[in-house]
Amino acid sequence: MAIKLYDTTLRDGAQAEGINLSVEDKLRIARRLDQFGVHYIEGGWPGSNPKDAEFFARAGELGLKHARLAAFGSTRKAKANCEHDAQIQMLLDAHTPVVTLVAKTSTLHVKHVLETTLDENLHMIRDSVAWFKTHNREVMHDAEHYFDGFKLDKDYALATLRAARDAGADWLVLCDTNGGTMPWEVAEITRVTISELQADGVSSSARFGIHTHNDAGLAVANALEAVRAGCEQVQGTINGYGERVGNCDLIPTIANLKLKMGDACVSDEQLRGLTDLSRYVAEVANQAHNIRAPYTGQAAFAHKGGIHVAAILKVEESYQHIDPARVGNSKRVLVSELSGRGNIHYKAREFGLDIDKEEARKVLQQIKDLEKRGFYFEGAEASVELMLRRARKGYVPPFELIDFLVVVENRQGRGLLAEANVKIRVRNGGEEVVHTAAEGDGPVNALDRALRKALLPHYPQLVDVRLADYKVRILDSDSATAATTRVTIDTRCGTRTWTTVGCSANIVDASWQALADSLEYALTA
């Protein structure tokens, strides 16, 4: 079987708190989803807002090669007719090959939300589905609150599906709208539902789909259980974006369908683009990518414990459930106080360095000592590489600090002023003591300028090296102004970026450590 993937990131995902997609954002994501191989892309609700209206007006620009575009809306209003229902007409005017209609399934919602009769709701479903079938649309019937409705009144919930099926719906999508149904309930209700409708003996090409929300943290598990029970379509969003807790995350769902359940929902080549897709959508949505996201997170295949690393150096699958390359990710070995010598040797090989057992032991002990003082090397691999280089016999650093002085003043008429004096020993085919001074916007900026002023005449290649980011973390806030401070600096040169770390009770000293490491790394790595 090949499960059909229905993406609703552009509608359900855009309803997530903190996400606001522009029309250009939606067009970019739609193109990427199509390139990846998603079967259906839901663009939004035509007429609900100007942004969605513009998206559908410009949908012709997409040039979709794989996916079918869907417009989302609801069944006609109570006691109305489709021909004169403005919302129905807007769906038709979107000119999409697919229309997705959400309909009430629960008697609670029909009586108290729609405030209409149970019979009228069935007529609304039949009329709306039939209307779009006469206009040659593929119709998705989204049975809202289906599982809650089934538990409340099984016969009526089934009657709503029969109404959609008999009117010609192509898909009957069972929705766990509140996201609170347990996996075993989803499995049983889905099996009973499919069995009941098949027992009718009615000739129909309608197939079943599943739409889950993650309020109980079970959206992916529920979707997979529904597939096992007979559903042939899964609806969800990239990275699980959605209202409240979110929707079914299509990223691990796709990986699980393909790798764990043997489904042909995507090809092997498409699967290798999974990590890029996940991170691309996060970037366009202006969201930090979850480093612990299953399959695609930066930490998904990261190994830190010494025992784990020792094992994967012998047999990679000993601590990895799949080869990360299959989803476009990669294995990472972290260095920290929990590391063993295997971590150090692995990182040395990764950096192209050859170190012996004694050098590895010394570096490992140094890392453990420094992390006890507040250093943190998992995200600062440039500092780790420098420690490995410094541990090797014959290593000569390109420069060495003799002393520095930083003054911050508030001068009348000029405001705050920072000035740094730096004295370093430069080794570049010789040895020279250089003493420089520079002003800056703050003490770290002044230090940076003074250090570069001293180094540039000897190392002109540093002219293209730029500080890209500067982060400060207070480690023991109970100590107030005497707290230990950790500083991480991201540095960039062309397309290369590296991170260094410093830690001290003095923020200027911590900044110097990270800054000096960043420039030494630029000169030696």
CATH of the domain at 45: 3.20.20.70
Last residue of a domain, one of 367, 391, 415: 391
Whether residues 383 and 421 fall in one domain = no
pLDDT of residue 336: 47
- 335 or 10: whose pLDDT is higher? 10
> Of the residues 391, 419, 447, which one is the last residue of a structural domain?
391
How many domains does the chain divide into?
Answer: 3
With residue 466 as reference, give the H or E element that holds it. Answer: strand 466-474
Tokens matching residue 203: 């000739």
Statement to judge: residues 164 and 236 lie in one domain: yes
Domain range enclosing 351: 302-391
Q: Is the pLDDT of residue 339 over 80?
A: no
The answer as to whether 512 is a domain residue is no
279 falls within a domain = no
* Longest CA pairwise span in the chain (Å): 93
* 509 within domain boundaries: no
195 plus 108 within the same structural domain: yes
Question: What average pLDDT does the chain have?
Answer: 87
Same domain membership, residue 365 and residue 221: no
Tell me what the mean pLDDT of segment 459-487 comes to. 76
pLDDT digit string, tens, across residues 147-172: 999 999 999 999 999 999 999 999 99
CB-based contacts of 460: which residues, under 8 Å, 6+ apart? Answer: none
Domain assignment present for 498? no
Q: Answer with the one of 216, 244, 266 that is the final residue of a domain.
A: 266
Q: Are both 223 and 322 inside the same structural domain?
A: no
287 lies in a domain? Answer: no
Does 29 share its domain with 116?
Answer: yes
Q: Which residues contact residue 251 at a Cβ distance below 8 angstroms, ignoring those fewer than 6 apart?
A: 238, 239, 240, 274, 277, 278, 293, 294, 295, 296
* In a shared domain, residues 29 and 159: yes
Residue 497, domain member (yes or no): no
One domain, residues 384 and 418: no
Q: Is residue 334 located within the same domain as residue 442?
A: no
Q: Which pLDDT belongs to residue 396?
A: 84
Higher pLDDT pick, 348 / 433: 433
Do 314 and 260 lie in a common domain? no
DSSP-H helix ranges across 351-460 = 357-372, 381-391, 443-455
Scored b (16 or more CB within 10 A) or e, 427-447 reads eeeeeeebebbbebebbbbbb
| 239 lies in the same domain as 159 | yes
Judge whether 154 lies within some domain. Answer: yes
362-392 confidence digits (pLDDT tens): 767 766 766 666 666 666 677 777 777 777 7
280 within domain boundaries: no
Q: What is the mean pLDDT of residues 86-115?
A: 93
Same domain, 261 and 323: no
